Copies of this chain bind each other. A is one copy, B any other.
Amino acid sequence: MTAAFVLFDGLTALDFVGAYDPITRLRSMGFREDFSWDLCAVRTPVHDGRGLPFTPDRVGAPLGDYDLLVVPGGHGTDTLQNDEAFLEWLRTAAPVGLKASVCTGSVLLGAAGFLTGRAATTHPNATDELAPHCARVADARVVDAGNVITARGVSAGIDLGLHLVRRLAGPSVQSQIAEQMDYPHAPSGSA
């Protein structure tokens, strides 16, 4: 199993790392030895919205061969949702079986066309941005619409990651990872 963590200039670091932590524990805690991941960007440099630098593993490479795509949000999405070069790159992820977002990352999934006809969520401040791209903006921490899963604002990245862990490896593994993360608020199901 392979995952692409999408990075871009102006992302919110906690959107990314909150999801990355539980998901990558699938390998680090020994549940999925075959799991690997890349940090993927269409261009460099990449800093979070407050200047923290990140170093992508792959730059400009197509995304279609991954099994899981995770897109964070952040103020960078203000311009990226209208950046055709970025959206064309993101659309290379069309074949990816499981696509996920945190915060305004769902606006990017939507602008790429991946939310058409689906329920989705985003940061509470961004519902108007998301609405034109999806069937319904749902008010839940995590919205599982089958092969596209979206989460609300920033800290909901942890809930997204734990939900993905549950989908990929079951509730017992989710519980063990949440316990190791010392996270008492793990989602028990999906909206």
Mark A residues whose CB is within 8 Å of B: 12-14, 17-18, 20-21, 24, 27-28, 39, 49-50, 52-53, 55, 103, 123-124, 152-156, 158, 180-183, 185
Cα distance A180–B24 in the bound complex, in angstroms: 26
Which residues of chain B come closer than 8 Å to A14, judged between CB atoms? 17-18, 20-21, 158, 181
- Give 17 A-B pairs besides A55-B55, A153-B181 with Cβ atoms closer than 8 angstroms: A13-B17, A13-B20, A14-B18, A14-B20, A14-B158, A14-B181, A17-B17, A17-B18, A21-B154, A28-B50, A152-B182, A153-B182, A154-B182, A155-B158, A155-B181, A155-B182, A156-B182
User: Can you tell how many copies of this chain the complex includes?
Assistant: 2
A103 cross-chain contacts in B, Cβ below 8 A: 182
Q: For residue A155, which residues in chain B have a CB less than 8 angstroms away from its CB?
A: 158, 181-183
CB distance from A76 to the nearest CB of B (A): 13
Interface centre among A27, A52, A153, A180 (most CB of B within 10 A): A52
